[in-house]
Structure formats: structure tokens, C-alpha cells
Chains A and B, each alone.
Chain A
Amino acid sequence: MQLLRTFLLRLLTTAITLIGVAVIVFVVIRVVPGNPIAMMLPPGATDEDIARLTAQYGLDKPIPEQFLIWASGVLQGDFGTSITARQPVLDLVLGRLPATLELSIMALVIAVILGGVMALTGTRARGTKVEAGIDVANGMALSVPDFLWGLVLILLFGVLVPVFHISGRVTPSLDLPFTTNFYLFESVLRLRFDLWADIVSHMFMPALALAIPLAAIIGQLLKQSLKETMHLDYVTLSRTKGYGENHVITREALPNAILPTLTLVGVQFTFLIGGTVIIERLFSYEGLGNMAIDAVINRDLPLIQGIVILFAVIFTAVNLVVDLSYALLNPRLRHG
């Protein structure tokens, strides 16, 4: 009951957020300099040609009117037509979304595993050199941004010891039997592990670059809250029951220590998705972020709007999932 109410309330605030995002983006990209029509036409086009195309895309009307036309289309599921690709924005965006989702989720999984292992190992080895080493590694991982980790990884595993692919999403010469754009997921379903390995080999470095700073944050925060939890009475009581430290950490302390980390992971995951824009560019990965940069360079207004709205939807969805899982994990919140 409580969950349902939370959910409905969040749905309402999400709608308001999305309207706000839509208005701001719509106005800003029309106010900043740069004319999408000029980009489309060959040099030497007449003013008449420009005026005709501008009218065709409705860009001659006042901004509020343009917005109403676009918004009523959006409500009917029509996000307009990309100026450069001349295809429906919705098709383009949804076609790229799976690539970015797979990359972000892979990065999240890597970050949770790396961060979790660091936190648990650090807690297990409290007060030893191992813990100090983990703290140093954490600090290093945290002080370098994801795109620099991307460059470091390219140099290390793409150039120095070339074990991973450094560009693209899949080797282009391969024959792809896929019907969806969730290549990684579908390759598993189709039991095509040869393709899966190729895709992972392309995704691993961009995913790792995105994951390293997040892993450091997870590791640091989780270790801190584990440390605090380890002093609590129920942890001590569990020791007197005969349990070893591993059990005490994972079964008694972890379920309680994980809650603050979970909230943070939600917030940080949205930053990670933001980070895909530059990382996808760096690794020529055909996802939404790469498309967003092209759209901005070409002043492809409908496409920019579509991508930004989609990112906003993803961000709010992630936050909603975090809030709901928080309520599920913490029995004290469940009953309101």
C-alpha cells in the first residue's frame, strides 16, 4: 500500500520534471547560435532555399508555437523527424538506447563487484597493510575522471598489450543474426557465445572506464558504513554465537551497512549514464551518447530534444528504482 502510494506520487513528480526538462531544452537549443538549416544545405544555397526549408521544419514560427506543435506530437508518440538523418527521432533514439543501456549496466555491475570486493576485503583486513593499500587504490581511482581512465585503458590494453577492441560495439565483418539491438543480451539468448565474446571484448574497456570511479565511491562508502556497523551490539552478539568474521561481516553487518551505499549508487549511476556521452565518443561506441554529440554538432534540434527527454526518463526511472528497493531492503521503511 505504502509502496503503491510512493510509486504514484513519484510518477506525478516525474511528469512535472519531464515537462520542465522539455521546456528548458527546447528553448535553450533555439536560443544558442547555430542554424540547423544552414548545415543541411550545400554552400551557395539561396536565401529562398533556406527560407523554404526553415518553413518546412516549422522553424520560422515563434518558439512557444513550435513547442506546442512538438509537445502535441510527443503526446501522440511522435518526436518529430531528425533533420540530418531524415528518419523519425523515436526510431533513431530507441535504436541506440539498447547499446547505451547495456554499456551502463555492464559498468554498474563491474563497479558494484569491484567496490563490493574492495569494501569487504578492507573490512576483513581492518587495521592491516591490506586495508591501507585498498584506501590508496580507492583514492587513485576516485581522483581520475572516467574519460581519462578510458585513455589509460586504451593505451594499456589497446596499444601496449592489445587484448581488447578499442572501437565500435562489435566487429563489423561479423554476421549478426540479431532482431533487437540488445546485442549482448540477445547473443546469450541465442547461445552465440562467439558473438558474445566479441561484444564483451568491445564493451569491456569503456564499461571499466565508467566503472572505476563509481567502484571507488562504492568501496569507500560501503567500507565506512561496514566499519561503523561492525561495532554494533548485534554484530558482537553474533560473534559470541560462534560465527567467524566472514559470516559476521556478510550476514550481520552487510545487510544494514548497504543501505546508504544503495542510495548513493542510484545517484552516481545517473552520473555514470551521463559519462557514457564522452566514453562512447572515445571508444566510437554506437550508443545514445555518441549520437547526442553528433546531434549537437549538426544542430539537429528534434534529435537533441528526443535524446535529452530519453535521458531524463532514464534518470528519473533509476531514482524511482532506488527508492523502491530502499523500501524493500529496509523493513523499518516498509510499514511506513
Chain B
Amino acid sequence: MSFLTVTNLSARLKGTGFPILRRVSLSVAAGQVHGLVGESGAGKSMIGKAVLGILPSSVEITEGRIELDGVDLLSLPLKERRRRIGATAALIPQDPLTALNPSRRIAPQVTDRLVDILGWARARANARALELLHEVQIPDPERVLRSYPHELSGGMRQRILIASAFAAEPKLIVADEPTTALDVTVQKQILKLIAEMQARHGTALLFVTHDLGVVSKVCQSLSVLYGGMVVEDTPVRDFFRAPAHAYSRALLAATPKYTDPMASLVPVPEAVIAGVQAELAAFDRGARHG
């Protein structure tokens, strides 16, 4: 039973009508980790944003369904959609330095959803925050909860954001390149932490990344995107053994090998790009006529 189902989701830029997402379909089963990979601008972040209802105001959804726990989000009025998303899903943002409000202490930023949206008593929410900070291995959590964001390091802040995402036991978490903004030495720890938390809480995870190495470690399935179109949707094991699409194969070949750091980087061949762009064009023609 999949917890998140996206069906034929299309989105475009308001004004120019430039397509951002082209009939994207994917599903994430409860407790599974699904990766979204692709180069910059492929639309992988946009899918996560669409699911959480935080697309930029310049982007509009033109068709499709986003079902969260069986409810079509796009059919709900804005206020109700926000509440529903807040109660069942959460975001681990990309940049921990800008994702915490600088003028508020940490504690209310972890507990606000519990108190305001889910109606918990403040004492219970505070106890939960303390427990979560222990769980994400933050030393001296009492002091950290009283701190302001600027008093904490980037790694600490990302741990807090992870704790905050898991606070309400959501069924789905969207992790939007959660390690990209971090120091390389911290990246590994944070990745490990997210994987552990996900396994322990049994949360479905939509993992947006451009790093296939990360996908091979944490995901069970993945969608490869190009130009807002899903070119391949497959279990991770199959993908690394035998990628079906030429673009996927090229992407995999372009990944730097940690085992052979001296090997020169392989770009995605021009012919493959031309091929996948021809597919996009054919898709757009089909969309116009169909």
C-alpha cells in the first residue's frame, strides 16, 4: 500500500508556460525510501515541493493528482491542504543555515507543529522535543533547546531540523538534498542519521539528491528525471545492475568512482542528451495532440 502516489503531475511556469514537470508519476510505499535523481533543473526538487504544497508562486500545476494517504491533496482548499500536509508529512530542508528562524529559540521551532497543528499540551511537546534531540544525538539538549540558531553549528542545526521533521511521527518525509549544504565530514554522519531515523520510525522517505552514491546506500527505489520527465522508475538493485534507459546509463557512468579517484570524469555524451531531448519533444507533441 503506497502512502504517496503522484499521478500524471504536470506543472509549468506561469507566463511563459515553460514545462517544469511533464506527467510525472511515482509512488512511495509506507516505510520505503524512494530517490529522485537528475541534474540541476531536472525537476526533482519541484516534485518534493509540489507534494508539500510549497511550489514557488511562479509555478502552477496544470494536471495530475497527488495522493497522500489516499486523499487527493489538489482537490482540498488551501487551508485544509496545509493542515493535512502538516499533520502527515514533513520536510528536511536543504540548507540548515537558513531553515531555522533566527529570531526564535530552538524549542518552539521543534514543538510548534505539535502544539498548534496537532493540539498537544505544551509540556508534552517539550518532553517530546527533548527526547527527539537525544535521539538525533545532540549533546546537552536542554541548553540547545534554549539556544538561538546562530549559536549552533550547521551540523547541529541539520540534526535539529531532522528531529523537528520526525517530531509528529509523519508518514512521509521529503528530504530535499539534505546534505548538500553541509561540510563533507558532516555529510556522512547526517546521511547515516537520516537512514537510522527512517528505519526506526518506519517513515516513507522521498529523497531528492543528485548523488547516485547516496541513492545506492539509502534508497529502495528511484526515479531518474530529465527535463521534468521521469525517464526511468525502478528498484535500486535493478538500476545499478542494469539501467534501462540510455540517459540512466550515462548518468551512472558519469558518477565519480571513490575506488578510483584518479580516473577522469566522464560527461554524459552529447548523443544521449540529444536522444532524451528528442523524447521530451515527442512527449510535448503528444501532450498537445492528446
Chain A residues with a Cβ under 8 A of chain B? 126-127, 232-234, 236-244, 247, 252, 255-256, 329-332
Shortest distance between the CB of B181 and any CB in chain A (Å) = 10
Q: Could you give, for residues 88-120 of chain B, a 1 whenever the CB lies within 8 Å of some chain A CB and a 0 otherwise?
A: 011101110011111110000100110011000
B101 touches A332 (CB 8 A): no
Q: How far is the CB of B166 from chain A (nearest CB, A)?
A: 13
Report which B residues bind A (CB closer than 8 A). Answer: 52-54, 57, 78-79, 82-87, 89-91, 93-95, 98-104, 109, 112-113, 116-117, 148, 150, 161
- Whether the pair B99, A243 counts as a contact (CB closer than 8 A) is no
A234 pairs with B99, CB closer than 8 A:
yes
B102 interface neighbour in A127, A241, A244, A332, Cβ under 8 Å: A332
The docked-state distance in angstroms from the alpha carbon of A28 to that of B104 is: 51
Which residues of chain A are near B113, meaning CB under 8 Å? Answer: 241-242
Minimum C-beta distance from B270 to chain A (A): 36
Given contacts A232-B98, A331-B148, contact A242 B103 (CB under 8 A): no
Q: How far, in angstroms, from A332 to B86 measured CA to CA in the complex?
A: 29
CB of B101 within 8 A of CB of A331, answer no
Measured in the bound complex, the distance between the Cα atoms of B205 and A95 in whole Å is 70
Q: Count how many pairs of residues, one from A and one from B, have CB atoms less than 8 Å apart in the complex.
A: 73
B91 / chain A contacts, CB cutoff of 8 Å: 237, 240
Out of B57, B90, B98, B116, name the residue touching A240 (CB < 8 Å).
B90
A239-B98 in contact (CB<8A)? no
Given A244-B82, A332-B148, A127 and B90 contact (CB-CB distance below 8 Å) = no
Asked if A331 and B150 sit within 8 Å, CB to CB, the answer is yes
Which of A236, A238, A330 contacts B103 (CB under 8 A)? A330
* Beta-carbon nearest neighbor of A232 in chain B: B98
CB-based closest 4 A-B pairs = A242-B86, A242-B117, A241-B113, A233-B98
Contacts of B86 in A (CB 8 A): 240-243
Query: Shortest beta-carbon distance, A257 to chain B, in Å?
Result: 10
The answer on a CB contact under 8 Å between A241 and B53 is no
Indicate if the CB atoms of A240 and B85 lie closer than 8 Å: yes
Answer whether A243 and B117 are a contact pair too, CB < 8 Å, given A236-B54, A237-B91, A331-B103.
yes
Q: Establish whether residues A252 and B101, one from each chain, have CB atoms under 8 Å apart when the complex forms.
A: yes
* B79 to A, closest residue via Cβ: A244
Check if A242 sits within 8 Å of B100, measured CB to CB: no
A237 in contact with B99 given A242-B82, A331-B148, A332-B148 (CB within 8 Å): yes
Do A241 and B112 have beta carbons less than 8 Å apart? yes
- With A237-B93, A243-B117 given, is the CB distance from A256 to B82 under 8 Å? no
Contact B103 A240 (CB under 8 A): no
Closest CB in chain B relative to A124 CB, distance in Å: 13
User: In whole angstroms, what is the CA distance A236 to B102 when docked?
Assistant: 14
Q: How far is the CB of B279 from chain A (nearest CB, A)?
A: 32
Docked complex Cα distance between A238 and B53 (Å): 12
Name 23 interchain pairs, CB-CB below 8 A, sorted by A. Answer: A232-B98, A233-B94, A233-B99, A234-B101, A237-B93, A238-B101, A239-B82, A240-B90, A240-B91, A241-B86, A241-B112, A242-B116, A243-B82, A243-B116, A244-B78, A244-B79, A244-B82, A252-B101, A255-B103, A256-B101, A331-B148, A331-B150, A332-B150
Q: Are A242 and B95 in contact (CB under 8 A)?
A: no
Most chain A CB within 10 A, of B89, B112, B117, is at B112
